[in-house]
Structure 1
Amino acid sequence: MAKSDKTRARRRAPLWARLCAILGCVLMVVSGGVLISSQVLVARYAGSVQTKDLFGDAAEGATKQPTSDIKGPLNILLVGIDPRTDQQAPLSDSIIVVHVPENGDEAYVFSIPRDLIVEIPPFEKTGFLGGSAKINAAMSYGSSVGDGKHDVAQGFALLAKTVSKLTGIKEFDAGAIINFGGFKKIVDAMGGVTMTVDQEVKSEHLQPNGKPRPRLARCANNQCAHPYYGPQKEYHKGTYHLEGWEALDYVRQRYGLPKSDYDRQRHQQQFIKAMAAQALSKDVVTNPIKLDKVLKAAGESLIFDGGGHSVVDWGLALKNIRSQNMTLIKLPGDSVFVGNDYRGERLEPGAEDFFASVVNDQVADFVLRNPNYINTSA
């Protein structure tokens, strides 16, 4: 890829990878003349991260033996969920794959639409027989552990199998579940986040004061065009410094947007970029109290499976992935309707060629030939 093409193609890293980069760097914060080693912050952050078997390897008797190094090519599966109790079936609101080529100093990130219609494979643990459904339901089908309870980590395992079936990626090297409620804590710990709103958006969920909008208890003939009513929080074009609740609300919206879930994916990527920029700003990095709060909030937002490696190991491995060598990918697709009935999303045939380039570690060549896959607006 030519230098000018690379400059246009590369974008900021997602917050998770950027925070790992922070932890992989040797940070020293000066506070009251005392030099505080980054090891203190790393220990606090790593200690707050939940580590679980997200891919079902332990249950299947597999023994992952960590090597001395984490080397590319690597594929990492990141899933964002709304806060849920163990009595609620989880749904994956955001599905992101990070591909790190063999060189290990760049990365490609692509989102899979949550409403994408896919084949979900059978899952013996829950008795799910497999079938066609929206991909965000895979976690739900895989999460039941009996007595009306659900395990989000077990649900992740079926989602990972589903993404593998879709993309051809045989197995993921690491995975993480990111709690969106935790993102709010991160933004609040940073003192808010500055974002550019690129289109007019009305909130489906919140009133202008941030309180939830009332919901209709019942709709005529079991149908309703909109389950909420009352005044709506509105976001207008421009650059604003948003509080945590505002930022999270903005990136959740898709109803009423011209491209629905594709617009929401773009807004989520914009949000992640804005969070990364804020997290690495002097206001945060040189403030030991604020930095500690941000890292701790980030740790509490994650459930992590590093394939036998700790989150710190991964932070060291990804330390060279910077904002200028991260490429955001947009997958081509459109909505599926039967009459006026929305059924979900589908990808265009060209997406299969992109997935093949990921499996064969040839993404750089693919985007050079297909620059329309580069998300220049995020």
Structure 2
Amino acid sequence: MVVTAKRRAPWWTRLTVALGVLLLLPAAAVAGDPVPRSGLRGPLNILLAGIDPRGTHVRPLSDTIIVAHIPADRHAAYLFSLPRDLVVWIPPFPRTGSAGQYAKINAAMALGSETSPGKYDPAVGLELLADTVEGVTGIKRFDGGAVINFGGFKQMVASMGGVRMVIDQDVSSEHLRPDGTPRDVSAACRASKNCLRPYTGAQKIYRKSLHPVRLRPWEALDYLRQRYGLPRSDYDRQRHQRQFLKAVADQVGRDPARLTEVLSAAGDSLVIDAGGHALTDWLLELKDLDVRTVTTISLPGEPVFWNGKYLGEQFTPDVAGFFAAVGRDRVAAYLLDHPTLVDAATSRSRRP
């Protein structure tokens, strides 16, 4: 199925706002006649987390944290990221015995995941991550959330035949050669475990493009991991991740026949929390949401130092105004007054 600018995608495919916001794809896959009433009301906030697939015996770190905000009028959707190194208060979590502490926000998932000694459950960790993000943003509660590990990410991209997206700046891979094989570790770093950037040799390079280019699964994952050498480091990486979500949503919406295949590819790598609502509620509530209304937002931050030592990141004071707008469901008006927060538009593909 090909969708052009003159014809909106069917409503059930438009549920794929930013990877279906992960939460909504299952509903689309089983869509029938929607129930006449949804249990969801008002603005919606959904928490998305990406973790490293190192097994249930290793603490998961949420290196990707994205919030999707959908206004009460359902006419738009907004995506913004929280830096993984954001220094925050992580509240106590009696369920796993974790004490409250100041730490980088990506530790919240790990601290909330240990359900028994040496065993970790990301679904439980998502609860503490949500509590932490709520404290940072002022969001009173999340209506739903999802966790996907990067292995599942690659499988989903493979099931789509790759992803087409604009590369908005030259990006050199820290980890891979041009053919996708791992780069060598330098001799000096083989003898030391303290090397920040241990790799050497030829690098895979993703060149800036004016139009979408196809990324194979390993390229997509590699591209979204990169921060070294970028002008704004992790903030550039966060933007690339948001751009990717938007590209995936667009691509799945253009080829709805592959929707079930994409979901099946994720398997156990995808954990969904529907916030106590039936998936048919999500289906009905977002039936008119168009993926082309998704706006991605860059929130400014800066490093935190103590006695010359880097501790992590913090948001600049003016970000509080944006979070207040989220709480009041006034994001569109806020962005009109603060247009620099909106990520620059990228070209769209006309291909299915």
TM-score range, shorter chain: 0.7 to 0.9
SS of residue in 1 equivalent to 2:223: helix
| Structure 2: gaps spanning 5 or more residues | 1-15, 32-36, 347-352
Gaps of 5+ in 1: 1-11, 25-40, 44-66
Q: Secondary structure at the match of 2:325?
A: helix
1:118 corresponding residue in structure 2 = 88
Structure 1 pair 116–18 and aligned structure 2 pair: CA distance change class (3 A):
closer
Q: CA deviation digits over 1:11-36, x for unaligned, max 9?
A: x9412238837954xxxxxxxxxxxx
Which residue, 325, 330, 333 being the options, matches 2:301? 333
Residue 111 of structure 1 deviates from its aligned partner by 0.9
Post-superposition offset of 1:107: 1.9
What SS is found at the alignment partner of 2:65? strand
| Residue of structure 2 equivalent to 1:174 | 144
Alignment of 1:6-45 (within 5 A): 13-17=17-21, 20=24, 23-24=27-28, 41-42=29-30
1:309 is matched with 277
Q: 1:21 to 1:224 in 2, by over 3 A?
A: closer
Instruction: Give the superposition deviation at 1:160.
Output: 0.8
User: How far 1:113 moved relative to its partner?
Assistant: 0.9
RMSD: 2.6
1:110 Cα offset (Å): 1.1
1:251-296 alpha-carbon deviations (Å, 9 max, x no partner) = 1111121101110011112212222222122xx33xx4x4442242
Q: Give the alignment partner of residue 259 of structure 1, picking from 232, 235, 243.
A: 232
Distance of 1:122 and 1:292 partners within structure 2: 39
Q: How does 1:235-274 map to 2 (within 5 A)?
A: 235-238=206-209, 239-274=212-247
Partner of 2:334: 366
Q: Is the 8 A contact 1:197 1:235 kept in 2?
A: yes
Quick one: which amino acid aligns to residue 69 of structure 2? Answer: H
SS at match of 1:356: helix
CA distance in 1, matches of 2:190, 2:308: 19
Query: Does residue 223 in structure 1 map to residue 194 in structure 2?
Result: yes
- Checking the alignment, whether the CA contact within 8 Å between 2:65 and 2:84 is kept in structure 1 is yes
Q: Determine helix, strand or coil for the equivalent of 2:335.
A: helix
* 1:98-117 paired onto structure 2 within 5 Å: 98-117=68-87
Q: Map of 1:74-89 to 2, 5 A cutoff? A: 74-89=44-59
Label 1:377 to 1:261 Cα distance change in 2 as closer, same or farther (>3 A).
farther
**Does the Cα contact within 8 Å between 2:145 and 2:273 map onto a contact in 1?**
yes
CA distance in structure 2 between the partners assigned to 1:89 and 1:126 by the alignment:
13
User: Is the alpha carbon distance of 1:340 and 1:229 closer, same or farther for their aligned partners in structure 2, counting shifts above 3 Å?
Assistant: farther
Pair 106,196 (structure 1): closer, same or farther in 2 beyond 3 Å: closer
Q: Hey, what's the Cα distance between the residues in 2 that align with 1:319 and 1:362?
A: 22
Q: Does 2:319 correspond to 1:319?
A: no
Deviation per CA, 1:185-244: give whole Å up to 9, x if none.
Answer: 222212222222222212122222222334469666753231333432221222422211
Kept in 1: contact 2:38–2:285 (CA 8 A): no
SS in structure 2 of the partner of residue 280 of structure 1 = helix
Q: Distance in 2 between matches of 1:138 and 1:18?
A: 21
| Structure 2 CA distance for partners of 1:377 and 1:118, relative to 1, 3 Å | farther
Paired with 2:301 and 2:266, the residues of 1 have a C-alpha distance of: 32
Cα deviation for residue 340 of structure 1 reads 6.6
Q: Distance in 2 between matches of 1:323 and 1:22?
A: 17
3-state SS of paired residue (1:297): helix
Distance 1:155 1:295, change over 3 A: closer
Which of the residues 96, 110, 114 maps onto 1:140?
110
Supply the distance in 1 between the matched residues of 2:184 and 2:103 (Cα, whole angstroms): 29
Please show how residues 158-173 of structure 1 align to structure 2 within 5 Å: 158-173=128-143
Give secondary structure in 2 for the equivalent of 1:14: helix
Partner of 2:349: none
Counterparts of 1:45-84 in structure 2, within 5 Å, are 68-84=38-54
Number of residue pairs the alignment of both structures matches: 323
What do the CA deviations read for 1:294-325 (whole angstroms, capped 9, x no partner)?
24235654211112223343133222221232
The secondary structure found in structure 2 opposite 1:113 is: coil
| Shift, 1:335, TM fit | 2.5
> Counterpart of 2:166 in 1: which secondary structure?
strand
CA contact (8 A) 1:22 1:319 kept: no
SS at match of 1:129: coil
Partner of 1:37: none
* Aligned amino acid, residue 244 of structure 2: F
Q: TM-score, normalised by structure 1?
A: 0.77
The separation in 2 between residues aligned to 1:75 and 1:240, in whole angstroms, is 31
Contact 2:92 2:98 survives alignment (8 Å): yes
Whichever residue aligns with residue 207 of structure 1, its letter is R
Residues 195 and 220 of structure 1: is their aligned pair in 2 closer, same or farther, counting only changes over 3 Å? same
Q: What amino acid sits opposite 1:160 in the alignment? A: A
Q: Is the 8 A contact 2:243 2:296 kept in 1?
A: no
TM-score by length of 2: 0.83
Structure 1 residue 337: Cα displacement = 4.2
